[in-house]
Structure 1
Amino acid sequence: MMITITFDRNNDGTIHSFTMSGHAESGPYGHDLVCAGASAVSFGTVNAIAELCQTELHVEMKDDGGFLRCRVPEHLNDGIYENVQLLLKGMLVSMKTMEEQYRQFIQIKS
């Protein structure tokens, strides 16, 4: 198994959503560091956007934690939108850093 994270972009290159699916299975349940890291980064980003940008992403979860899709709401003002983008780009950098170390367990598509 593998975690796949896909960042979907608008025509201008900005991120409009990300989808994380699958399980890393890099260790026994409760000791899977790749899964824990990916979850911490993704939920940390969603929470940072909510708190720092006062913006709730549209969140869809299913498969007992094996699927997460988050979409940026439309019609945000430019300043908030730029801050949301910065946080999402930070998430992408963090996930790519994990992918470099644990390529057999996590794949990033951006």
Structure 2
Amino acid sequence: MIRIKLTERQGKAETLLAEGHAGYAEMGQDLVCAGVSCITIGTNNALDELAPGTFQTETREGYLKIRILNLDDPTAQLVLRTAWIQLQTIAESYPEFIKLKKQEV
């Protein structure tokens, strides 16, 4: 199961955390894992290109955490919100393999 959490502070996206493995199919054949990986890595790359210096990333096997440092940066907010919407789309199609949680901190 992939668990995704979006934390917000004062209504602004602060952290996107993705961890786990979907278990939809064997390694190398898992469309759910591939989709989530594309979205999260693409989000990191988009932030790096469009809003450099506004975020920190922590990665390891089965884990990606993106933290927005400047919550007032509109580009960083747009990129993270777009990722959340894309992840919701996958979760709607594969609810037994990906769980989303949004939390105000």
TM-score (normalizing by structure 1): 0.86
Q: Establish whether residue 8 from structure 1 lines up as the match of residue 45 from structure 2.
A: no
C-alpha distance in 2, partners of 1:23/1:95?
14
Shift of 1:53: 1.9
**Aligned-partner residue type, residue 43 of structure 1:** I
Cα RMSD after superposing both structures:
1.4
Aligned: 1:70 with 2:104:
no
2:54–2:76 contact (8 Å) kept in structure 1: no
| TM-score with structure 2 setting the length | 0.90
Task: Tell me the matched-pair count.
Answer: 102
Cα deviation for residue 55 of structure 1 reads 3.2
User: What is the one-letter code of the residue matched to 1:73?
Assistant: L
Larger Rg: 1
In structure 2, list runs of 5 or more residues that go unmatched: none
1:56 Cα deviation after fit: 5.4
Other-structure match for 2:94: 102
Give the aligned residue type for 2:21.
Answer: H
Identity, in percent, stands at 35
Letter in 1 for 2:26: P
Higher relative contact order (CA 8 A, sep 6+): 2
